[in-house]
């Protein structure tokens, strides 16, 4: 019989200690240590072993020179979900381990079930530790109408033991494995309960070995804590190849899939979906949800050109400036950094003479998304001035520039993509920094490009 030992783990970062500590020396969090019973690995307990018929190659046991390593580029698995392909960097990489986190009810399971149902000519094993097979069947019939060909190649397994899961994987030999969720799995090597730090770490390590040895992509669905972090040890995010965050507001029908870490592509890509009764719909043109349809210009609204990853988007920035009723002015921003908003307000007061010190200022980025691109600074400033002066901006005008502390309009990168996106959507003029003119041929654009160097120039051109 294996010897048992007790250890203490930090629930925040996974730090292990032989005794209880009030403060974690790794992440400096208080009261996060929990006691867990650890069992030493018993060789009689089966773990993942590649079958003799597997086409996987064992790793070399001796060091090799870089030039001697044989390398054959594996073709990515291109799914029917264009947004997921974009966020992953062009498709699913064979042997990759992808972790998807998000709030409860946001649509993580729906996204993965859609992937399993629409992937053609490949077996997909969907392992669920949270729902029964009848519940998954009910949800699948909402997405794909029942027919003789619906669900072909999609296999459902309701199991939480990793040893039993690997037995079924050896029999089925799927092309993709989906785990829903990693916090429900448990390994017989560890005595602690499912969802604990040691169980999550051990189960992920077993799935990682399986993915790398068989070149089978594995998707892990993960819960998040109340702080928005993925539940479990922080080492979980270091072990996987890609970390995706599925986010959105429950009061909006739109969802955003964002790459936080990606070893096989850009970590700044963005995928946008619309949640419907029959599943998630891809939003190919994000500007359709970020720009409101209005017939006449309204005060306090400006359009900014931003870029997320390789995708240019036009977003609507709204501002409301009013007299402070309670004596202490309020500053609130939705979808934008409040500290940067305070900086822009200080620039307007110091450099441009707008008395905003005793005014309430509220900012909102429409569509329920969060933008960190400094290129929307000029659009935000324009919307604040428009609301303060109660003078509307033409809805055929957009902005793409950063605002400096001295009130100058600074250049931003990839300005050509921003101009072309505004032109494609029918805008008549765009304000950019005069320092972006270098190497830019303005004659090839049908849209009028206005170059400015100071905020005062923008105010004069907009409002005379």
Return binding residues for ATP. 102-109
- CB–CB of 272/286 below 8 Å? yes
Distance CA 119, CA 111 (A): 12
308 forms beta bridges with 311
Distance CA 207, CA 199 (A): 12
- CB–CB of 391/376 below 8 Å? no
Distance CA 159, CA 137 (A): 16
Known binding-site residue numbers: 102-109
79 contact partners, CB below 8 Å, separation of at least 6: 85, 91, 92, 115, 118, 119
* Residue position matching structure tokens 């650890």: 38
Structure-token pair, residue 362: 């509220």
460 contact partners, CB below 8 Å, separation of at least 6: none
- CB–CB of 218/211 below 8 Å? yes
């Amino acid at each position: 019989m294996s010897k048992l030992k007790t250890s203490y783990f930090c629930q925040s970062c996974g730090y292990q200690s032989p005794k209880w500590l009030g403060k974690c020396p790794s992440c400096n969090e208080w009261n996060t240590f929990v006691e867990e019973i650890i069992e030493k690995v018993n060789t009689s307990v089966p773990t993942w072993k590649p079958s003799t018929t597997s086409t996987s190659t064992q790793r070399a046991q001796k060091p090799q020179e870089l030039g001697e390593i044989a390398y054959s580029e594996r073709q990515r698995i291109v799914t029917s979900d264009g947004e997921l392909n974009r966020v992953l960097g062009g498709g699913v990489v064979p042997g990759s381990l992808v972790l998807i986190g998000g709030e409860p009810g946001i649509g993580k399971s729906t996204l993965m079930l859609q992937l399993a149902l629409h992937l053609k000519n490949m077996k997909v094993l969907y392992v669920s530790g949270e729902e029964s097979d009848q519940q998954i069947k009910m949800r699948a019939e909402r997405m794909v109408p029942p027919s003789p060909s619906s669900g072909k190649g999609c296999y459902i397994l309701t199991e939480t033991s990793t040893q039993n899961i690997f037995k079924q994987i050896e029999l089925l030999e799927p092309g993709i494995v989906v785990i829903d969720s990693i916090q429900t799995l448990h390994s017989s090597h560890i005595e602690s309960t499912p969802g604990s730090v040691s169980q999550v770490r051990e189960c992920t390590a077993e799935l990682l070995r399986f993915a790398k040895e068989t070149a089978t992509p594995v998707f892990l669905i993960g819960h998040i804590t109340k702080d928005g972090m993925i539940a479990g040890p922080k080492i979980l995010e270091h072990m996987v190849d890609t970390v995706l965050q599925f986010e959105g507001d429950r009061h909006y029908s739109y969802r955003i899939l964002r790459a936080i870490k990606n070893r096989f592509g850009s970590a700044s890509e963005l995928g946008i979906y619309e949640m419907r009764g029959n599943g998630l719909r891809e939003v190919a043109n994000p500007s359709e949800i970020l720009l409101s349809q209005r017939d006449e210009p309204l005060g306090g609204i400006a359009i900014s050109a931003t870029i997320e990853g390789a995708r240019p988007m036009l977003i609507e920035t709204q501002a409301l400036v009013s007299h402070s009723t309670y004596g202490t002015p309020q500053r609130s921003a939705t979808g934008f950094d409040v500290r940067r908003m305070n900086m822009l307000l200080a620039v307007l007061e110091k450099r441009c003479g707008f008395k905003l010190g005793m005014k309430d200022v509220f900012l909102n980025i429409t569509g329920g998304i969060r933008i960190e691109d400094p290129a929307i600074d000029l659009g935000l400033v324009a919307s604040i001035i428009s609301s303060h002066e109660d003078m509307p901006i033409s809805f055929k005008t957009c902005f793409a520039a950063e605002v400096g502390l001295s009130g100058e309009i600074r250049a931003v990168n990839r300005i050509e993509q921003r101009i072309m996106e505004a032109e494609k959507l029918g805008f008549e003029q765009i304000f950019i920094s005069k320092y972006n003119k270098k190497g830019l041929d303005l004659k090839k654009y049908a849209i009028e490009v206005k170059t400015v160097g100071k905020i005062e120039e923008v105010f004069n051109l907009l409002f005379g």
